[in-house]
Every structure is written in C-alpha cells, then in structure tokens.
Amino acid sequence: MKNDLYSTTYTTLDRMSRIHRRLLSGGQYPKCQEMAIECAVSTKTIQRDIKFMKDCWDLPITFNKSIGGYEYTEEVMDFPAIKLNEEEVFAFLIARNSIERYQGTHFHEPLSRLYDKIITQMGFKQSARMKRVKEYVTFRPAGWSKAKYKILDLLSKACRDRKEISFKYEYPSKGIKQKAKLKPAHLINSDNVWYLLVGDQLNQPSHFYSLARMSHLKLHATTFPEIAFSIEKYMKNNFGIFRGDEIYEVHIVFDAHAAPYIKERKRNDSQKIKIRNDGGIDFHIQVNHLIEVKSWVMSWGKHATVVQPNELAVDIRDELKETIQKYPKT
C-alpha cells in the first residue's frame, strides 16, 4: 500500500508538471482530453489537476474559449510543487534558522540539504514571501562551543546505536567525576539546554546529565538492549528536568504583577490557573519534586506566596531568613 501511495503522488505531480510544460510552450493551448490521453487518466482527473494548480498554487491558468484550450495569462518562471501560506512560511523560517544551532553535528548537513530541496520546490512567489518574513523576523538561538556540539553529535549516535559511553562530569558541589559504562537512552532539550537520560542496570531510565558539564566523552564498542519507555510518561509530572518519586500538590498565589507572566507558560499538563478578584491568580500544579519549584517561586520574590505543600513554604521561609542575615541592618 505504501508503494502505491508514493506512486500515486508521483504520478499526480508528473501530470501537473506535464500540464505546466505544455502551458509554457506558446501556442499549444492544451486541452483536457489531449492531456488525459497523454497521461492515461480521465478528463475529470486533468480538470481536477488544473483546478488544484490554480487554487492552491496561484498559477494564472485560464481557459481560452475561442481556441478551446488552456493558457497562462501571465509569465510563469517555475513550477512550484510546494505551496505555503504566510503562517506556514513563518514557521518554516523559524525551523530553518534553528538549524544553525546544530552546526558541527551530523544533524546540520542533512537538515540544510532538506531545507534547500524544499526551497527549490517553492517557486518564485514563495521565495519572495520568505524574503518578506526575513525582513521582520530575527532568530538568535543561544550559542554553544564546537566541543559541546561534538558531544551532542556523539551522544545522538550512541543513543541510536545503543553503545555504552563514559565521560567526565562536573558537579557544582563535588567537582569533576568520572562516569564509566553508562547506557544513553534519550536526548532532550529543555529550556534550550541539552540533557542526556541514561538507563540503569535494569535497563530502565534512571536520571539526566547536562551536556554542558560533560567532557572527554568516549563511545565504547559494548552495546546494550533497547531501553523501552515513553519519554512523555517519564516526564509527565516534571516541573523542569529533574524527576522525583513522589507526587506533590502545589498551590501558589501570584499577585497581579506576576499573574500575566505566569499565565504565559504551561509548566506541565496538570497546571490549572484561577483568576482572583484582586487580579492575581491561584496556580495549581502536580509535580514529582520540589527542587526546581522552589527556585522558581523564590525568583518571583514578594509576588509569590506558597499555600501548599507546607514543606515547600517552610523551606523557602528558612532560606529567606538565612539570606536576610547576610545583609547588614540599616
């Protein structure tokens, strides 16, 4: 069935290409019946092809009644096999610019080739539309060193080929430690930071390592069985990248100053927001750890108040007390 589908798609494009070439040949004025015989299809199929070319590709095709055939009413320079609207062009441009963040990896070259292939099929009007979008949109992804891109490249191959790895890892509090014979399971980009999820001795997903803290990465010849799991289920109640074993019901009140910013982003699927009479919001969410929640709440200072869980409120209160003691009284 798959081969038939691809064959049908090719035949449709081939028919339209034939119609296009006949229309470009001045004075031919192709007729549906002639094209139907040439392409071994029905007249109605050719009529549908022409309608598609007019409606979806904006090609200036009209039927010349006096001659009894079709013609181009304007000069057409190319044959667009892909037609995008303004919104799709915008999304495609964002995707194209994001390719640059993968320079130095084996992702970059095939992604660039794919982009170029699509561009060549867009046609003149589409290319012009793309140029217009570039005039008012700039994409500046966070940069990485070539060494880090090399690590990303090697880890993607290790995940794909299921090869064990070893590397040195820099802990903020412990310094640099050697990690040997780990099983790379999945790469994930969270908030523009790359992490590697590794498997444990039971071949189950275990925990994450930040690629930014890795060095001296080595791929070993030793392979391991596939780590079968769902990354969506694994990350279900995560607040960020860290993962715990408990479920916490978190309730935070944000004042009217913070409310508009909090509503802009969904932290996970359990998040619920209720507007308060004073313009603030009640923020509810289920999480499996409180580490990143704590840092996030404290970043909002006086604009956030933890209602539950109590242990989070106490932890933040105690840390604020310690912080206050570091500043002299005036």
pLDDT tens digit sequence for 92-133: 766 766 666 666 566 677 777 777 666 656 554 555 556 665
pTM above 0.85, yes or no: no
Average pLDDT over residues 249-265: 96
Mean of pLDDT values over 135-141: 59
Q: Considering only CA atoms, give the Rg of the chain.
A: 29
Cα separation of the two ends of the chain: 79
For residue 150, pLDDT beyond 50? yes
| Averaged confidence pLDDT in the chain | 82
Burial class of residue 116 in the structure, from the number of CB atoms within 10 Å of its CB (0-12 exposed, 13-18 middle, 19+ buried): exposed
Note whether 207 and 243 are within 8 A (CB): yes
Confidence of residue 284 (pLDDT cuts 50, 70, 90): very high
How much is the pLDDT for 127?
Answer: 57
Residue that wins the pLDDT comparison between 242 and 249: 249
Q: Rounded distance, CA 49 to CA 34, Å?
A: 14
Give CA–CA dist 293/275, Å, rounded. Answer: 21
pLDDT of 5 over the 50 cut? no
Query: For residues 205 and 227, what is the distance between their CA atoms, to the nearest angstrom?
Result: 7
d(CA 263, CA 195) in angstroms, rounded, equals 26
Q: Which of the pair, 259 or 176, is modelled with greater confidence?
A: 259
